[in-house]
Structure 1
Amino acid sequence: MQPLSAPQEIPSAAGDRHSASASAIVAGVAAIGLVAGAVTMWVQYGTAVFFETIAAGWQACF
């Protein structure tokens, strides 16, 4: 038995997956950079100064 119509190709969403994974990588790199900066500040300035700096930053933003 022959099919009545030719099979149609379903377009893939490979481009969408590629851009989603690229944005996830960028977000991951940014998060790692923020954590590395926080650890660097902690080591350089000590605990008390680190928390005071973070608190001053929050107060300046809000």
Structure 2
Amino acid sequence: MLLWAGAGLGALVVVAALALWFHYGTQVFFEIIRTGFAACF
């Protein structure tokens, strides 16, 4: 059950990332990822 929940969450993250990529374009997508990663550290 826990494995299925993890797989579902992973799939949701991938779908969300692809949706952002198609909506905003490659340059903005990577800028958002870079800014979020920098904010974490």
Does TM-score exceed 0.5, indicating one fold?
Answer: yes
Which protein has the larger Cα radius of gyration, Structure 1 or Structure 2?
1
Question: Larger relative contact order (C-alpha < 8 A, sep ≥ 6)?
Answer: 2
Query: Aligned pairs, how many?
Result: 41
RMSD: 0.3
Q: What are the ranges of 5 or more consecutive residues in structure 2 without an aligned counterpart?
A: none
Compute the TM-score of the two structures, normalised by the length of structure 1: 0.65
Compute the TM-score of the two structures, normalised by the length of structure 2: 0.98
Q: Which runs of 4+ in 1 moved over 3 A?
A: none
Q: What are the ranges of 5 or more consecutive residues in structure 1 without an aligned counterpart?
A: 1-21
